Structure 1
């Protein structure tokens, strides 16, 4: 039938038309995000939907502003901080250190969860390996690390973009189909838009983790580099704006779908998730094998889509600080990514709880967020930099609210960590 190939061709063209926004989705919706959404949905239902909505709104603004700044000035983020701001050099170094801690800690949890999920899939078909779970998980983690490092050595932006398109598409489709099979009550969705924090132990931590994973500082700082890697110029302002809006909307829709599935399948059954195995044991009886398989396929794709950009982030930010260029071929890039790959194996080797590690790592991400917002707010209001391109007052209000929100969440994160330890 002629309409079949035509539709497939159009769908493929639509997916491949994504710009740097695909990296924003890959960074944001990783295993950390999936874990936080599942834990929140299974424990508190849709209560934290308002946090997700605000985070995605502010994320969209920041993705747009950082991309626009680069198209208008030709400069990348950390290089501009260092060059134009009084304390920019110190700010940039603190941001790189903070992101390295948050992202690499997150990487450990992602590798632990992804390895465990692949192990569970193998265990379904080869029950005999259950006697060698630890060895199997370690082997899977080593293979994953080696494959991703090999892909990184290719060193081309267009190649990275295509890899992420595949993972993000599988992830999005999997979660959205799952939502049609298991969903929350409409009134719970509406109640979730009313601000409230779960008054239980770990409630504050979950809120901070939500913001840490959805308003990821790494997403905004890498935006200028990927915009330049895409080859966009000042003539692509409209494409940049559309790309930022679509990225923010998709992050909200996919993340909300994950929370909703966890609410429909687990919260109403009174089965909160604290371990990777909990997801297997509790989802299957309620959602059925097909929905379970889809959900896990989506979770695995989320993990794999995050490993790639997280391995990239620290070396490209260091290169940004040094020269303002996207560097994916130097010896420095290869050495730092190799170290990150080894760091990722800590959770699988020591057998820590990857779910708990993921939530903790997301909290660390919120501490550099105020600096990242403050930096771009100062830059876009310097007349000597933006010249004739005056910043609209509504954009300044949006960034001001984002900064206030980030400061409140950072304070909340400090209190959550004090309570935890």
Structure 2
């Protein structure tokens, strides 16, 4: 029998809050900039990458979630206990390093977009540093409450704004349907990196995979499943929740790519800086469409900032198997330090787009290790019993592992091409 669920609208929303959290985590400014870059440079021809990545993400989310449903252990607890403590520490260090770069890039892009957008209302615009400080303060204020439910519900509102903005933008700016359908056929555009600002198709493909198939997503998923109190009896609910999350990931990612393909690519205009999404789109799409797009980008940045700043303390709690009490002084200081990294790009006037794309490609390096761990853990009869991986599950996981290795190699080759460009 499944555990009793609260009734009414609140109860129905609560069933999908873990999925909404994953959606907010996954669709950030890294996704927006990568998908927009792909659409502006290659039209819809790389949409197949998003589809395959979303299918693989669903498999990984449900597989990691199922492990926790059966064992009651989170991913890091299992790594430490059943593989080796060093494996758990490796993921903590690697994911924290990635998050640190993401926080800098996210706030840099959000601040730059907000600055350009504000020029429509304030002469000369509001400086990026003030926007970065505002959004950092907003996220930290919500974090200060310390309860996961507050994070999730705040995230649900922001994600709803983000999704509505990008879908509406798609309806206004979408390219012809036939072009969208052709993008589902796997192909690699034969365009030199020098013609697309140095970021060739190989690096973008790796970046798109990295921003969708993100290792941190699967590891945090196990924490959310455990905190929700789900057991193996809730397997159908966890699958529905995961399906909702990845479906929305695909829809939003495709909408962002289509908006850039239907405007910038159609006009033969590339994309080199986040602010160009505002300055280049406005004469092509109009102020209204650009305002919707800017709202979506800002919402995406803020929504991803929640799990970004929480990543390190949550990972530490998981590794130690200790309560996630975010009101403890050491965690509040930790989150404050990570949050303040968001001021780096506006203060030093760095260019965040390359940082975001390269960091998303770096995520692919972590992916093979993440897949290997769940293949090992999910096949252990002493842990999973009758619920251990079937032959079909193992085939799918090995296929995803191979896909991650290929895209990792492509990302490496893309980075070399960018350096040599």
TM-score, length of structure 2 as denominator length: 0.92
Q: Which residue of 2 aligns with 1:112?
A: 108
CA distance in 1 between counterparts of 2:100 and 2:211 reads: 13
Aligned residues of 1:68 and 1:237 also touching (Cα < 8 A): yes
2:26 corresponds in structure 1 to 28
Q: Distance in 1 between matches of 2:112 and 2:360?
A: 20
In the alignment, the residues of structure 1 paired with residue 171 and residue 9 of structure 2 have an alpha-carbon distance, to the nearest angstrom, of 21
Q: Deviations over 1:339-391 (max 9, x none)?
A: 21122221111111122221122112111111111111111100000112232
Instruction: Work out whether 1:186 is the aligned partner of 2:177.
Output: yes
Residue of structure 2 equivalent to 1:392: 390
Q: Which runs of 4+ in 1 moved over 6 A?
A: 10-13
Deviation, 1:261, is: 1.1
Deviations along 1:164-213, whole A, 9 cap, x unmatched? 10111111111111111111122322221222223321222111110110
Alpha carbons of 1:322 and 1:13: their partners in 2 closer, same or farther (altered >3 Å)?
Answer: closer
- Say if 1:212 and 1:363, in contact at 8 Å, map to a contact too: yes
Secondary structure in 2 aligned to 1:20? Answer: helix
Structure 1 pair 117–94 and aligned structure 2 pair: CA distance change class (3 A)? same
1:121 aligns with 2:112: no
1:362 aligned onto 2:353: no
* Corresponding residue pairs, total: 406
Task: Quote how far apart the aligned CAs of 1:302 are.
Answer: 0.6
Any stretches of 5+ residues in structure 1 without a counterpart? 1-9
> How far apart, CA to CA, are the structure 2 residues paired with 1:71 and 1:382?
15
Match of 2:409 in 1: 411
- Separation in structure 2 between the aligned mates of residue 28 and residue 102 of structure 1, nearest angstrom: 14
Q: Which moved more, 1:339-348 or 1:327-336?
A: 327-336
Deviation at 1:336, TM superposition (A): 2.1
Provide the residue aligned with 1:6 in structure 2.
Answer: none
Tell me which of 286, 305, 308 is aligned to 1:307.
Answer: 305
| Structure 2 Cα separation of the partners of residues 256 and 15 of structure 1 | 25
| Distance 1:12-1:171 versus aligned 2 partners, 3 A rule | farther
What's 2:375 paired with?
Answer: 377
Equivalent residues in 2 for 1:320-339 (5 A)? Answer: 320-323=318-321, 326-339=324-337
In structure 2, relative to structure 1, the CA distance for the partners of 1:143 and 1:207 (3 Å cut) is same
For structure 2, the 5+ residue unaligned runs are: 1-7, 194-198
Q: Pick from 90, 95, 99: which aligns with 2:91?
A: 95
- In structure 2, the partner of 1:7 is none
Paired position in structure 2 for 1:247: 245
Report the aligned-residue RMSD.
1.9
String of CA shifts for 1:259-298, please: whole Å, max 9, x gaps. Answer: 1111111110111111122111221122222211111111
Q: Does 1:55 align with 2:46?
A: no
Q: Where do residues 64-83 of structure 1 align in structure 2 (5 Å cutoff)?
A: 64-83=62-81
How far apart, CA to CA, are the structure 2 residues paired with 1:166 and 1:16?
Answer: 13
Check 1:303–1:387 CA distance in 2 against 1; reply closer, same or farther (3 A cut).
same
